[in-house]
């Protein structure tokens, strides 16, 4: 008996009892779509949470701290967070870059800019980093270039907002607001349309703020038309403006400066302000940031760093916590879905047993006429599998419908259960990727076959003799 003939027989038998087939298939449809929709919610919510978090924060970033031994029971005393440790972070798998991120020294020095009004101060915080690592770290430029070999240690890059301040100082008196790219209708600023030709030509000087209070330094500098004549000042070499990163607030305002140069600045400041000293560098950092190539590799890298004794934090950790919370709720729902699939499976078994009882004589006749018992078993297995497959296919289609309804009418409400989200925009919390479609089809077919195992086994035990017994 050929395979095609077995399929034909299955189809014929299924279409012969339409209502029963329809009901059994519907059972599988409900079970399959329940499971698919549950899984699609998991996929969708994962994507939504990732999306929302990545709007707030960088999910590939790990903050590394050294707060010493966390508690007395800790066996591991972490080593100092120095250059060699940062280098060892860089050599870990999947780590793109690592750099110290020193932001404490904010107001000791300021940048003075020469404008039409004379010298002004920028009041922007300094961030001490490895300047050579900025590009690897994932920063992008809007203007200029990154630090290159041969650049002096006074080389700096500005965050986008710092760049804007600089522009505004330079052009304040020369341009009207409207010409800056201010759009009255939308009340927005188009920063990119501002004139920037002279950015890098401007004279920028770094000057110390005596007494540790910036406003006192102002007095001697602001408005002066001549270069500040101070005990310590140095001309800075601005080479680039960084692109605005929506997730890194510190970097927006900051002026990036090499951490070793910053160490020198702190030393200089402390000499000028003996009563108001900053803590000087001794080659040990408090905060190091590690950039991982992919969000999914963050946990492994984080674990590796933790194993060295450091403390870490990352938004990825937060994301995983959220997913875990959602996971618990989904487990409950998945259990309901699984039960409905189980009921559907028993329904198939029941239908097949009925079919076999009804067709006892037919099976007997087929046996007498020489149909291999293996083929008879295959026929019933095929029939059950076909019910499963049809239910699975219908279930996939139905799932797409359910998914559409959930996304259009319930996405906002459901997502709000887990995190704050604003606006009326449609949120796709149910996403059915192609592998879920395949899983649905294959799963339902396999379940159909499993459900058909017992009935099929029963079919081959039917006696051929019963068929030719006189009625």
Partner 1 sequence: MSAMITVKNLIKIYKVGSEKVVALNDVSFSIEEGEICCILGTSGSGKSTLLNMLAGLEKPTRGEILIDNQRIEKMNEKRITRFRQKNVGFVFQSYNLLHGITALENVAMPLIFRGVKKKKRDKIAYLMLAMVGLSKRVKHKPTQMSGGQQQRVGIARAFAARPKIVFADEPTGNLDSRTTIEVMELMVTMSRKNKRTLVLVTHDRDIASYADRIIQLKDGEIISDIRKDSKNDEKIITYAVDSHISD
Cα gap 304→295, rounded to integer Å: 15
Q: CB 355 → partner 1: shortest distance, Å?
A: 12
- Interacting stretch for partner 1, rule CB under 8 A, among 33-41, 266-274, 362-370, 411-419? 362-370
Q: Among residues 3 and 404, whose Cβ is nearest to partner 1?
A: 3
**Distances in whole angstroms, Cα of residue 425 to Cα of each of 54, 373, 408, 410, 436:** 18, 60, 9, 12, 26
- In contact, 408 and 49? CB cutoff 8 Å: no
- In contact, 321 and 18? CB cutoff 8 Å: no
Q: CB 460 → partner 1: shortest distance, Å?
A: 9
Looking at 284, 335, 368, 405, which residue binds partner 1 (CB under 8 A)? 368
Q: Do β-strands 126-129 and 255-258 pair in parallel, antiparallel, or remain unpaired?
A: parallel
- In contact, 186 and 166? CB cutoff 8 Å: no
Looking at 92, 272, 365, 419, which residue binds partner 1 (CB under 8 A)? 365
- Interacting stretch for partner 1, rule CB under 8 A, among 132-140, 238-246, 267-275, 358-366? 358-366
Cα gap 304→320, rounded to integer Å: 17
Looking at 20, 63, 306, 361, which residue binds partner 1 (CB under 8 A)? 361
Looking at 371, 437, 446, 450, which residue binds partner 1 (CB under 8 A)? 371
Q: Among residues 225 and 470, whose Cβ is nearest to partner 1?
A: 470
Q: CB 320 → partner 1: shortest distance, Å?
A: 56
Q: Count Cβ neighbours within 10 Å for each residue of 149-162 and write b for 16 or more, e otherwise.
A: eebeebbbbbbbbb
Q: CB 365 → partner 1: shortest distance, Å?
A: 5
- 339 sits near partner 1 (criterion: CB under 8 A): no
Dihedral angle of Cα 353, 355, 357, 359, to the nearest 10 degrees: -150
Phi, psi (rounded to 5 degrees) for 294: -140, 140
Looking at 92, 96, 334, 373, which residue binds partner 1 (CB under 8 A)? 373
- Interacting stretch for partner 1, rule CB under 8 A, among 39-47, 320-328, 363-371, 397-405? 363-371
- SS3 state of residue 152: coil
- 471 sits near partner 1 (criterion: CB under 8 A): yes
Q: CB 453 → partner 1: shortest distance, Å?
A: 19
- 470 sits near partner 1 (criterion: CB under 8 A): yes
Cα gap 29→149, rounded to integer Å: 65
Spacing of C-alpha 181 from chain mean position: 33
Q: CB 362 → partner 1: shortest distance, Å?
A: 6
Structure tokens at 341: 């699939």
Return the percent helix, strand and coil in the chain, to nearest 5.
55, 15, 30
Side-chain-side CA neighbours of 443 within 13 Å: the count stands at 21
Q: Among residues 183 and 372, whose Cβ is nearest to partner 1?
A: 372
Dihedral angle of Cα 399, 405, 411, 417, to the nearest 10 degrees: -80
Looking at 226, 369, 420, 424, which residue binds partner 1 (CB under 8 A)? 369
- 1 sits near partner 1 (criterion: CB under 8 A): yes
Phi, psi (rounded to 5 degrees) for 467: -70, -40
Which parts of 276-315 interact with partner 1 (CB under 8 A)?
none
Structure tokens at 427: 């949120």
Looking at 367, 384, 402, 430, which residue binds partner 1 (CB under 8 A)? 367
- 16 sits near partner 1 (criterion: CB under 8 A): yes
Q: Among residues 4 and 417, whose Cβ is nearest to partner 1?
A: 4
- In sequence order, the 6+-apart residues with CB closer than 8 A to the CB of 167 are 194, 195, 196, 199
State the burial class of residue 260 (Cβ atoms within 10 Å of its Cβ: 0-12, 13-18, 19+): middle
- 358 sits near partner 1 (criterion: CB under 8 A): no
Q: Among residues 192 and 369, whose Cβ is nearest to partner 1?
A: 369
Looking at 74, 198, 243, 372, which residue binds partner 1 (CB under 8 A)? 372
Which parts of 93-122 interact with partner 1 (CB under 8 A)?
none
Looking at 374, 401, 416, 433, which residue binds partner 1 (CB under 8 A)? 374
- 375 sits near partner 1 (criterion: CB under 8 A): yes
- Interacting stretch for partner 1, rule CB under 8 A, among 92-100, 201-209, 359-367, 389-397? 359-367
Q: Among residues 17 and 63, whose Cβ is nearest to partner 1?
A: 17
- Taking alpha carbons only, the member of 32, 33, 44 closest to residue 431 is 44
**Distances in whole angstroms, Cα of residue 445 to Cα of each of 49, 304, 415:** 33, 43, 33
The residue with tokens 């395979």 is 3
Q: CB 357 → partner 1: shortest distance, Å?
A: 16
Looking at 150, 370, 422, 423, which residue binds partner 1 (CB under 8 A)? 370
**Interacting residues toward partner 1 by CB under 8 A:** 1-2, 4-5, 12-13, 16, 361-362, 365-375, 464-465, 467-468, 470-471
């Amino acid at each position: 008996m050929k395979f095609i003939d077995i399929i034909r027989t299955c189809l014929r038998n299924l279409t012969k009892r339409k209502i029963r087939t329809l009901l059994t298939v519907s059972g599988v449809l409900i079970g399959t779509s329940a499971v698919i929709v549950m899984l699609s919610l998991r996929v969708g919510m994962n994507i939504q949470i990732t999306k929302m978090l990545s709007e707030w924060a960088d999910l590939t970033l790990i903050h590394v701290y050294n707060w010493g031994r966390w508690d007395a029971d800790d066996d591991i005393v972490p080593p100092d967070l120095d250059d060699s440790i940062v280098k060892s972070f860089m050599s870990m798998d999947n780590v793109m870059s690592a750099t110290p991120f020193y932001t404490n020294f904010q107001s000791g020095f300021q940048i003075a800019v020469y404008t039409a009004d004379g010298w002004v101060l920028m009041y922007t915080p300094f961030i001490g980093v490895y300047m050579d690592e900025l590009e690897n770290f994932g920063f992008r430029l809007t203007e200029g270039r990154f630090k290159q070999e041969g650049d002096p240690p006074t080389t700096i890059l500005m965050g986008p907002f710092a760049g804007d301040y600089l522009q505004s100082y330079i052009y304040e008196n020369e341009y009207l607001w409207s010409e800056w790219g201010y759009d009255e209708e939308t009340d927005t600023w188009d920063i990119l349309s501002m004139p920037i030709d002279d950015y890098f030509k401007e004279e920028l000087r770094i000057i110390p703020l005596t007494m540790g209070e910036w406003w006192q330094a102002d007095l001697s500098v602001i408005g002066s038309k001549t270069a500040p004549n101070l005990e310590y000042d140095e001309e800075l070499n601005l080479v680039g403006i960084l692109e605005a990163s929506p997730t890194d607030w510190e970097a927006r305002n900051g002026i990036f400066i090499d951490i070793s140069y910053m160490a020198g600045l702190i030393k200089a400041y402390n000499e000028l302000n003996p009563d108001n000293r900053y803590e000087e560098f001794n080659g040990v950092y408090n905060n190091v940031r590690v950039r991982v190539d992919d969000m999914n590799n963050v946990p492994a890298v984080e674990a590796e760093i933790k194993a060295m004794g450091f403390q870490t934090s990352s938004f990825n950790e937060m994301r995983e916590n959220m997913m875990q919370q959602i996971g618990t709720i989904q487990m409950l729902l998945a259990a309901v879905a699984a039960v409905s699939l189980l009921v559907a499976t028993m329904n198939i078994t029941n239908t097949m047993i009925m079919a076999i009882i009804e067709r006892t004589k037919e099976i007997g006749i087929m046996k007498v006429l020489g149909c291999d018992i293996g083929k008879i078993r295959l026929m019933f297995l095929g029939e059950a599998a076909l019910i499963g497959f049809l239910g699975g296919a219908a279930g996939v289609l139905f799932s797409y419908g359910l998914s559409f309804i959930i996304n259009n009418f319930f996405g906002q409400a459901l997502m709000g259960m887990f995190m704050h989200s604003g606006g009326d925009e449609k949120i796709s919390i149910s996403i059915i990727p192609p592998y879920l479609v395949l899983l649905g089809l294959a799963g339902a077919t396999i379940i159909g076959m499993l459900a058909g195992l017992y009935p099929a086994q029963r079919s081959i035990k039917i006696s051929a003799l019963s068929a030719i017994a006189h009625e």
